[in-house]
Structure 1
Amino acid sequence: MKATLFYLHDPMCSWCWGFRPVWDEIQAKLLERYPTLTITYIAGGLAPDTDQLMPAEQRKTIESYWRRITAELGTTFNHDFWTKNEPKRSTYLACRAVLAAKRQHQEKNMIHLIQEGYYLGAQNPSEEHVLIDIAGKLFSDDSLDKFIEDIRSGSIEEELQQSIEQCERLHELRLANGFPSLVLGFEKNLQRITQDYLSVEVTLQHIDSILKRAEVIDLDS
């Protein structure tokens, strides 16, 4: 019996950026321990498309989140973002970029590059030209053209809406609480997974206990 670990995220979610070091280690250890485990990313879409600039109060609020995450987790943020850009509260386009990159097997790499461009490079992933520049680090020539075509396509928009609906259902079922969230699925069962932004073992131990109890994966194999 196989199991799937769902990772609910948004590439422009600051708490996802803070969780990334622990999450990267969790994934590596899980795949070493459970080679048949599937890890599936679900882009939830924090904020819909808009051309409106972010209000000053909202800018202050989000920047305060960055400072809090730095204080609690030690995560690095480049606060020049707030003076070098005209921010918009819009993340759907970045989610589409991730889905477009996924079609060329570059989903995780695209997430990482968006995060690094945004939080370290003070780039604005709410702008299409920024995302195309970022994609240029992964794709060239025909593959970059395909990425551009895909990010603008109706089919990618449909995929995004499906992802958002999945996230909403999991939140309604109280299996998730914002981004990032982890949900373990096996057969027709879903289980919310405990996560700690500073501890790999908290999540690993919870997953171990569920899989062993459910006999989903043979831990002794």
Structure 2
Amino acid sequence: MTATLIYCYDPMCSWCWGFRPTWDKLKSALQPLIDADELNIQYLLGGLAVDSDRPMEEGMKAGLEATWQRIQSTLGTEFNYEFWRSASPRRSTYPACRACYVARDTSLEDEMYHAIQKAYYLNAKNPSDLDTLSECAEQIGLKADSFLKSMQHVKDNALLEDEIQQARHLGLNSFPSIALLIADQLVSIPLDYKDHSSMLEAIKKALS
């Protein structure tokens, strides 16, 4: 029986951006298990913040910028702080989550996830805006028109909200989160943001 490693994330979660290099190393280390059909990886969207057109309050902007600074000092992660001056931030991550959901249909979810992260954290663009998400879609080879139609379909049918409820049901309430599903048993994998080794060993131990 193939086990499933669930990775729960939000593309606008700054700790997910900090975790990306270690997550990439973990995925590479797990490739032999994936090739042997002992493991597959499933992404689940967490949904940090619902749809909103309201400008972000100054206190929240300052708090999130401080979080970026803490991640940078702890992990060495690169951030473009110009975002807080020029991008008209809103507390709304659902559009970016829907973009990843749409990209999943063409097996481009991780590519979309990374494109959104780079637009947000490196290029100071706002992934709460459909224009930014359309640019990301085109960068990974999707057509803007069909992408936007699919975005509306996901929104109209509350498909993201259904997935968020699935994540909550599994107890995946923080981002990023990793858990291993073996048959009907869910094993939480403790995160190490700096080194993938302990997570790799925990996964191998659970599988054995």
Match status 1:12 vs 2:8: no
Report SS of the residue matched to 1:112. Answer: helix
Following superposition, the deviation at residue 186 of structure 1 comes to 1.0
Letter of the 2:204 counterpart: D
Q: Which moved more, 1:148-157 or 1:32-41?
A: 148-157
Residue 130 of structure 1: aligned partner: 132
Aligned residue in 1 for 2:148: 148
Alignment partner of 2:202: what SS?
helix
Alpha-carbon displacement from aligned partner over 1:184-206 (angstroms, at most 9, x marks no partner): 00111111011100011010010
Secondary structure class of the residue paired with 2:181: strand
| SS of aligned partner of 1:194 | coil
| 1:193 pairs with 2:189 | yes
C-alpha spacing 1:34/1:134, structure 2 compared with 1 (3 Å): closer
Distance 2:5 2:95 in 1: 25
> Which AA in structure 1 matches 2:18?
G
Q: What is the 5 A alignment of 1:105-116? A: 105-116=107-118
8 Å Cα contact 1:96/1:157 also seen in 2: no
The corresponding residue for 2:207 is 211
Is residue 76–residue 120 contact of structure 1 (8 Å, CA) maintained in 2? yes
SS at match of 1:8: strand
How many residues matched? 206
Aligned equivalents of 1:110 and 1:154: distance in 2?
A: 16
Structure-2 separation of matches of 1:144 and 1:103? 15
User: Residues of 1 paired with 2:154 and 2:199: CA distance?
Assistant: 37
> Equivalent pairs: percent with the same residue?
40
Structure 1, unaligned runs of 5 or more: 213-221
Residues 14-34 of structure 1 show CA distances to partners (whole Å, capped at 9, x for unaligned) of: 000000000011011112244
Q: How does 1:162-181 map to 2 (within 5 A)?
A: 162-171=162-171, 176-181=172-177
The residue that corresponds to 2:91 in the other structure is 89
Q: What residue number does 1:219 align with?
A: none
Q: For the residues of structure 2 that align with 1:93 and 1:154, how far apart are their CA atoms?
A: 10
1:125 alignment partner AA: P
Please tell me the residue identity of whatever aligns with 2:46.
G
1:120 aligned residue (122, 126, 130): 122
Structure 2 matches for 1:63-102, cutoff 5 A?
Answer: 63-102=65-104
Q: Deviations over 1:97-146 (max 9, x none)?
A: 01111112211100000000100010000001110011111225xx4322
Relative to structure 1, the CA distance from residue 156 to residue 186 in structure 2 (aligned partners, 3 Å threshold; closer, same or farther) is: farther
CA distance in 2, matches of 1:80, 1:185: 40
Contact 1:183 1:191 survives alignment (8 Å): yes
AA at the equivalent of 2:180 = L
Q: CA deviation at 1:152?
A: 1.1
Aligned to 2:160: 160
Q: Distance in 1 between matches of 2:173 and 2:138?
A: 34
| 1:130-175 superposed Cα distances (whole Å, 9 cap, x missing partner) | 10011111225xx43221110111477532112110121122xxxx
Q: Which runs of 5+ in 2 are unaligned?
A: none
Given that residues 96 and 156 in structure 1 are in contact (C-alpha distance below 8 angstroms), is that contact kept between their aligned partners in structure 2?
A: no
Q: Judging changes above 3 Å, is the alpha-carbon distance between structure 1 residues 157 and 66 closer, same or farther for their aligned structure 2 residues?
A: farther
